[in-house]
Chain A
């Protein structure tokens, strides 16, 4: 006899089996390419201060919003290819595509910039899709997306010109950048083939390196498939002075907004000068499962949501 409380778990069986196969395929992908799997602490004394990302406090420390600071300390110490699959926590984020506790995949490489990570994304997602028997085409909510490389690459400036009612410069000036991006541009990205949206205004790339040819642009990209934002990548900022200045600015802006203050991550800043040019990326595993399992809500691809506990 089935207990009725189990019903929500039973209907997730197919998605949870697929989720496990996807995570196994991700691990194999990185192991095959000589990446070292790393496990950094979930509970940390100081998350990277970012204006729009809030951490959960645990006593005087915090649950990590991303493992990036510890991963970069490993890079600085000479680990040149590392990856991690872990839980991350962000307060106040709950919606069809957001859980306050979610699963993140991050990987970092020394000696490359963000363009190499675009190639990695193409190879990773194509490999994972093949391993779960998707034949080069993903169907998500009625939309068919071909995974055949090369994927589309479009700059933020060009995407605003093509999809939005106002230019990127105008959106920045009127403080509507996020709104236009989320409401007008994102829903149209990656509907036929996956899209890398790249080169963000420098104020929207807090830990990213500035482009040599254009000081107003940060070397950052986001990967979109079927309008789903899947991954965020940077050519990493390795200038400790500049990083400290940006942390201070983010802390000031947080204070002005009334958000909780975080200590400055000193050990990360101390390690940064030893870090060679590198690139790093964070990919939402739950969203990748949503995409490959053709599920409309993040709730459909996890066993438990906060509401079901």
Chain B
């Protein structure tokens, strides 16, 4: 099937429906993975060990934002993608596309930040590349990182392992990164003391697995937020996920900003939060581990089996008045409402 738009739109990169369409209509047919199911990182079986491999690109504006910067984001982003397979991160590649005219002092700050973040995660930056584009052809710095890690557990952590009856947990309150970035863009004219949730997740994942939680699936909640991540997992797993709106942890500033701008907090980006799917009987143990890192971690939903007719609605949300409704995936662009 050919892509259904004549031109690439910003929304194709927003982690919502248009991103999904681009992957399903153009990229999957060209590069379909062996099992046909997408995950945050690919697994490579080599003699004696399983490796995890992933790549991610970073185009954030502003380059420095409350709670982080593009350098840390580039390291933690790829480390987190690896962590979603339960892999221990080992090494990173670093590709930078720089815009002519960028202040060298700023580049230095970013590079130091990358180094510090890599050290904190115990990964080495072992290969890299730099290109420079003419002024006006880039946005300061674009970064791509690829990461390689080692899988040292026997679990199958994958959407295909998700079972009806499983519990759906989140590792902390949602939407801080998205709101912090919106607030940092001065044109929005609203101030917030909220910081991005940017953080590495591999240690948390390692603790979950070591504590004996039978993890079925993990998903890094980045662009598109909880809404996109649960939709992708439910569709890949052939299950339905029911979320409990009242249980979803949201900081009051995230709620307030979303209310004001007419945006859906469940579609707001995160950079240090994940969805954990595990058997209901392991949920309490998993939450105990997650709460060592973030006290807001909690159970937000349940996986159900699904009939063919229900496949139209992979994710349902039970709202605060007790009514069930479909949980919508955003198109991919954040367009604040008029009034």
A, B from the same assembly = no
Residues of B within 8 A of A (CB): none
